Amino acid sequence: MGNASSMLTQYDIEEVQEHCHYLFSQQEIVALYNRFCQLDRSAKGFISSDEFLSIPEFSLNPLSQRLLKMVDGLNFKVFVAFLSAFSPLATVPQKIELIFKVYDVDGKGRVTFKDLMEVLGDLTGSFMSEEQREIVLSQVLKEAGYSRDSPLLLEDFMKVLCKPGVTMEVEVPVD
Amino acid sequence: MAGLATSSTEMDLDRPNIDEYLTVESIREAPKKLHLRDLLDISPTLKEAAGAIVDDSFTRCFKSNPSEPWNWNIYLFPLWCLGVVIRYGILFPFRVIILVAGWIVFFAAFSLVHFLLGEHNKWKREIERKLVEMICSVFVASWTAVIKYHGPRPSMRPQQVFVANHTSMIDFIILEQMTAFAVIMQKHPGWVGFIQKIIVESLGCIWFNRTEAKDREIVARKLREHIQGVDNNPLLIFPEGTCVNNHYTVMFKKGAFELGCAVCPVAIKYNKIFVDAFWNSKKQSFTMHLVQLMTSWAVVCDVWYLEPQYIRPGETPIEFAERVQDMISVRAGLKKVPWDGYLKYFRPSPKLIERKQQIFAESVLQRLEEK
């Protein structure tokens, strides 16, 4: 399956489907494969950062650099697993888990104040100063009962975001 | 928004309307107090990113859509094989011979005229023009092109430019065989560049270089000079700036529309049943593209010469460009897309990200005030 010019076999599709916990239908996986091959222009078996950035809408996203760290060099199976959090069938905890991973991009298992500052920095750019961001984050953390010195864990994210939940859905165009 | 100013030193999107196309989901209706979850919940931004990964309208414009194979059963397959034999074994060599013969005649005649007749001999230009029209007809014959021209033939007058949608370099040849246009082209390497230099120069062409930022001003000046000249060939411009797959049109650059003269739109639509004329320059060299055309049955297309348009009072060049893009898209049955074709070669301007960041930052700060 690594060679992009080969067709997906039924066995491949089922393997990918299992890996993404059946959050995509087989048709959607085939459609995603066509898309994957379209983006992976040199048929290497993974999509490089450059190829992601050639999608203008992606390159214009404030979090594109952070996301690139997560998606760069993924093979098709893991690519689909990454996108599965955006499936309408994905549960709210699964979506929250992805959000946690975007914050905790180096995978240490906790989100530090520095991570929060980085993401807020990506989202606000030069329109908020470092001090302003620190003040805002410290204030909202304190109000929610957290301190800026202790990192946030996945359970904390679940607690904060689960009510009223998170909608984060993307439709895979199936022709 | 008026905030996106164009500067000639940047590869900018000179199109304010693109903001309508990018959804800004972080706008809140009424400012409410800021909570931790508002900052942690980056789901709208992630959703947009994932949406772009899964499908985006820009990449769609440059996708070569393979046609459904029709040779899939026991009866059709031998027919198809026969077709392949005829195409590659009979048609292709025959076409190559026509092409080579045509080129030999052309080169002989052209060299004669070019070197023998004096610089400003008025016959020289006439003959060179006719010769170019002839070689284009030879090219067209080598693909067995079936071209239907609709509308009045372009006339040679000053103060007019022709604009057309762009699918492949053969667009130029197809239009050229009817009228000797002067074009503005990107210089290509290889044998195409050689032909461009020698022959196309005689038509009075203008060169540009995508990678040179300052180029825009120089080119704009050359364009203006050209259309003033009474004797110059009518100028043909492809305002998309790049080849698109003939299902969509990308943004028409305003350069052709701010010259203060008549703009005559030309719409070109290829019939894909016979061959897909889209030249995917990232996938194929021009030589391979020509070979593909010469080994197909035919190139079938429609060319519509539309009514000349003038800029309306109060209309900006960008709006004018969009209006003409609409006219051509409707006539040729193409879908309009607001992206700049140059995004194939360059990254989008960071100014657009800054807009989103500004909106979000202001909303956060505003809500911080609310108690």
Q: How far is CA B109 from CA B95, B130, B135, in A?
A: 21, 11, 11
Say which of B43, B52, B347 has its CB closest to residue A166: B43
Q: Which fold has domain A10-84?
A: Recoverin; domain 1 (1.10.238)
Is residue B36 domain-resident?
no
Q: Where are the domains of chain A?
A: 10-84, 92-161
Number of structural domains, chain B?
1
Cβ contacts below 8 Å, chain A against chain B, sum to: 151
What was the pLDDT predicted at B327? 93
Closest C-alpha among A37, A71, A30, A35 to residue A53: A71
With an 8 Å Cβ cutoff, are B42 and A99 in contact? yes
Contact predicate A52/A39, CB 8 Å: yes
If one counts every other C-beta atom within 10 angstroms of the C-beta of residue B18, the result is 20
pLDDT (tens digit per residue) in A5-31: 457 889 999 999 999 999 999 999 999
> What is the amino acid identity at position B1?
M
DSSP state letters, chain A? --STTSPPPHHHHHHHHHHTTT-S-HHHHHHHHHHHHHH-TT--SS--HHHHHTSHHHHTSTTHHHHHHHHTT--HHHHHHHHGGGSTTS-HHHHHHHHHHHHSTT--SSB-HHHHHHHHHHHHGGGS-HHHHHHHHHHHHHHTT--TTSPB-HHHHHHHHTTT------PPP--
Q: A52: pLDDT confidence band, cut at 50, 70 and 90?
A: very high
Q: Are strands B299-305 and B262-271 parallel, antiparallel or unpaired?
A: antiparallel
User: Is residue B46 a part of any domain in this protein?
Assistant: no
Query: A162 near A96, Cβ under 8 Å?
Result: yes
Asked if residue B63 is part of any domain, the answer here is no
Tell me, yes or no, if B53 comes closer than 8 A to chain A by beta carbon.
Answer: yes
The reply to whether residue A64 touches residue B49, judged by beta carbons under 8 angstroms, is yes
- Minimal Cβ distance to B37: which of A57, A123, A161: A161
- Tens-digit pLDDT profile for chain B (371 aa)? 333 333 333 334 444 445 544 454 445 455 677 888 888 889 999 999 999 999 888 888 888 777 667 777 788 888 888 888 888 888 888 889 988 998 898 888 888 877 777 666 677 777 878 888 888 888 888 888 888 999 888 777 788 889 999 988 888 888 888 887 888 877 777 777 777 776 667 777 777 776 666 677 777 788 888 888 777 788 888 999 888 888 999 999 888 888 888 899 999 999 887 777 888 777 778 888 888 888 888 888 999 999 999 989 988 999 999 999 999 999 999 998 888 888 888 888 888 888 888 988 888 888 877 75
Q: Do A168 and B43 make contact, defined as CB atoms within 8 angstroms?
A: yes
Cβ of B43 within 8 Å of Cβ of A95? The answer is yes
Minimal Cα–Cα distance from B264 to chain A, Å? 31
Q: Which residues of A touch B360 (CB under 8 A)?
A: 62, 123-124, 127
Q: Do A61 and B353 touch (CB under 8 A)?
A: yes
CA-based nearest distance A3→chain B, Å: 17
Confirm whether A10-84 and A92-161 share one CATH topology: yes
Residue B111 lies in a domain: no
Say yes or no: B364 contacts chain A, CB-CB below 8 A. Answer: yes
Please answer yes or no on whether B46 and A126 come within 8 Å at the CB atom: no
Asked, for residue B70, whether it belongs to a domain, the answer is no
In a domain, B121, yes or no: no
Chain B nearest-CA distance from A172, in A, is 6
Nearest CA in chain B to A165: B41
What is the predicted pLDDT for the residue at B120? 65
Identify the CA nearest to B24 among candidates B46, B40, B45, B54.
Answer: B45
Q: Per the CB < 8 Å rule, is A137 touching B48?
A: no
Nearest chain A residue to B33 by CA: give it.
Answer: A140
Are B36 and A168 in contact (CB < 8 Å)? Answer: no
Beta bridge partners of A107: none
Closest chain A residue to B360, measured at CA: A124
- The SS3 call for residue B4 is coil
- Nearest-CA residue of chain A relative to B53? A58
Q: Which of A55, A102, A125 has the CB atom closest to B53's CB atom?
A: A55
Taking only the tens place, the pLDDT of each residue in A86-143 is: 999 999 999 999 999 999 999 899 999 999 999 999 999 889 899 999 999 998 899 8
- B246 within some domain: yes
Chain A nearest-CA residue for B368: A136
- Give yes or no for B370 touching A (CB within 8 A): no
A159 min Cα distance to partner chain B (Å): 10
Q: Nearest CA to B184 among B209, B167, B165, B214?
A: B209
What is the number of alpha carbons within 13 Å of residue B33 lying toward its C-beta? 6
pLDDT given for residue B211 in this prediction: 67
Type and span of the H or E element at B226: helix B215-228
Domain containing B297 equals 145-345
Residue B325 and residue B298: Cα distance in Å, rounded? 28
Interface test with B, best of A61, A97, A117, A153 (most B CBs within 10 A): A61
Cβ contacts of B53 on chain A, cutoff 8 Å: 35, 39, 52, 55, 58, 71, 83
* Contact indicator for A157, A75 with CB cutoff of 8 Å: no
Q: Which of 27-46 (B) contact A at CB < 8 A?
A: 34-46
Q: Percent of chain A having pLDDT more than 90?
A: 58
Cβ distance of A157 and B40 shorter than 8 Å: yes
pLDDT of A6 reads: 57
Question: Is B346 within 8 Å of chain A by CB?
Answer: no
Architecture of the domain whose range is A92-161: Orthogonal Bundle (1.10)
**Res B157: pLDDT:** 79
In a domain, B25, yes or no: no
Plot region of B308 (φ>0 → left; ψ -120 to 50 → alpha; else → beta): beta
Q: Which residue of B has its CA nearest to A170?
A: B51
The vertex-B354 CA angle with A86 and B40, nearest 5°, equals: 40
